[in-house]
Structure 1
C-alpha cells in the first residue's frame, strides 16, 4: 500500500521543508499533499519541488474555514482510503508591533481552532501505523502559565470544552480584560499551550486503540528556526534553517514509534514535561510581553 502524507501551512518555511523532506524519503508511488490557503502559492510551491521521491500534489486548505479540513479529509478518504502522515503546521504569525487585541480573533481561528478542526477531521481516517503530529513550541507547557490558569487547559475533557476555554481567553484579550488578570501578553504562550492540550485530550480518548494499531499522535517542537518572522523577535542567525529543522520531524513521522511520545510534546526526541514538577511556573508578566499598549 502506498503512503499518503499531508502537511498544512506548507507553502513556505518549515511546512515547505516538511513536504520536501517527506517526498525525498518516500517512494515514487507515494503521495505528499502540500496544502495552503492560497491556490496560486500552493501551485508555485508544488512546481518548485525538486524531482525524485514521492509525488507532490497541491490542495487548497484554509484551516480557518470551519468545514475545509473535514471536506479535504473526506476527499482523501475516498481517494486513498485514509492517510498515513499528517503534519498540522498552519500558523498565523504575530510580530512585535502587532496589537494582540486586534489580531487575536484571526490568530486563534487559525492556530487553535484550525488545530482542533484538523484533529477532528483527520484522526478518524488514520490508517494503521499512521502519524498525526501538531507542530507546536516549547512554550506549549504549563510551565509558562500562571498556576491560577492551569485548569483552563488541564481540565477540559473534550476538544469542544477546550475550544470554549480558548474562546474565553480570546475574548478577554480582545476586550482588554486579560490585562488585569494573570494572562501573559504574548499570545503565543496560551495558544501553544492550547495546541498541546488538544493533542493530550484526543490522545486520552484514543490511546488504547492507537497503541494497538501502531499510531502516533503527538505535538512537536522544532526548536528555534532561522526565518524572517523569528528574526523579528530573536537573534536567529545561528539557528537551523527550515530544512535542517524539518529533518528531526520527518524522522518522527517515518521512524518507529516510541510509546513514550504518545500524546506528548516532543523536542529532539525527548518529551517536554507538561506541568511543573515543583508547582511553580516560569511566568512572564503581561506588561513585559505585550507588544502594544
Structure 2
C-alpha cells in the first residue's frame, strides 16, 4: 500500500495546527503530514511541539501569497511522493475591527483568495484516488450574505481565472473606496469567503465527473465559530469550541467515505450549506 501524504497550510497555530496534529494521529508511521507556514521559526517550533506517534510530521515553508510558492512545493512533493492524498487549505490573513479595509485589502485578498486559487491549481492535479482537497472557509461564504444585485459576480463561475477576476474587481473597489458607496458589505471577510467558496465550485465544475469516478472529494469546509484571540475581537466566543474541537468534523470529512452530494459544496458539521437563496 502506498504511504499517504497530507498537507496543511497555515498550520503553525489554531485550527491549522489542530488539523496537522489530528492527521498525524489518524495516519500511520509510514505516512507523512506536511505542516506548512510562511515563517521558518514558527514552522520549526510547531513541528517540535506536536506529540509523537502516528505519521511523520515534516515542516515546510509555504507562503501562499507568493505567486510561485504553491506550485514550487507541489512540484517537490510530486517528485518525492508521486502525489498527495489530503490537502487542507487553511492559510488566512486575519483582520481586526480597527483595521481600515482600504489599507489591508491587497494583502488580505492575496493570502485568502489568490492564495486559495494558487493552492487549488497546484495541488488538485496531484490528488490520488480517494483524495481530499478541502478549503477552510465559513458559513459567511454564501450568496445569502450578499445583496442580490451582487449575486451574478460570483454565481455560475466556471474557472479559477474568472473567480480571480471577480475578487480583483472587489479588491480594487475596496481599495479606492467605491465599495463603500455600493452594495458591498463593509466586513471584508464576507466577499473574501464567498470568493473562496466560488473558487471551489468553479474547480469542481471542471473536475466533477472524473473526481467522482476516482472517489475524490473537493469541498469548502466551515469549522464554525471557534474560541480564538482573533474571533474574540469580534464576538463573544467564551463558549465556543477550541480549534482542536472544531477540527474534529473536518478531520472526519478528510478520512471518511466521500459523499458525492458534498462534492464542490460548502460543508459544515457534515451538512451541505445552500450556496444561493431558494
TM-score range for the pair, normalised by the shorter chain length: over 0.9
Structure 2 residue 67 is matched with structure 1 residue 52: no
* SS of aligned partner of 1:112: helix
Q: Is the 8 A contact 2:10 2:91 kept in 1?
A: yes
Structure 2 residue 146 is matched with structure 1 residue 145: yes
Partner of 1:24: 25
Distance 2:123 2:105 in 1: 26
Partner of 2:91: 90
Q: Is the 8 A contact 2:124 2:133 kept in 1?
A: yes
Distance 1:157 1:56 in 2: 35
- Scaled by the length of structure 2, the TM-score of the pair is 0.99
- After the TM superposition, which parts of structure 1 deviate over 2 Å for at least 4 consecutive aligned residues? none
Q: Is the 8 A contact 2:158 2:206 kept in 1?
A: no
Partner of 2:273: 272
Structure 2 residue 93 is matched with structure 1 residue 114: no
Deviations 1:184-224 (A, max 9, x none): 00000000000000000000100000011000000000000
Q: Which runs of 5+ in 1 are unaligned?
A: 278-293
Partner of 2:205: 204
Structure 2 residue 131 is matched with structure 1 residue 134: no
* SS of aligned partner of 1:121: helix
Cα displacement (A) at 1:131: 0.1
Distance 1:234 1:129 in 2: 37
Measured on the aligned residues, the alpha-carbon RMSD in Å equals: 0.5
When structure 1 is superposed on structure 2, of 57-66 and 156-165 the one drifting more is 156-165
Q: Is the 8 A contact 2:8 2:19 kept in 1?
A: yes
Partner of 1:184: 185
Q: Which runs of 5+ in 2 are unaligned?
A: none
Q: Is the 8 A contact 2:65 2:111 kept in 1?
A: yes
- Scaled by the length of structure 1, the TM-score of the pair is 0.94
Deviations 1:97-132 (A, max 9, x none): 000000000000000000000000000010000000
Cα displacement (A) at 1:155: 3.5
* SS of aligned partner of 2:236: coil
Distance 2:159 2:130 in 1: 24
* SS of aligned partner of 1:24: helix
Cα displacement (A) at 1:161: 1.2
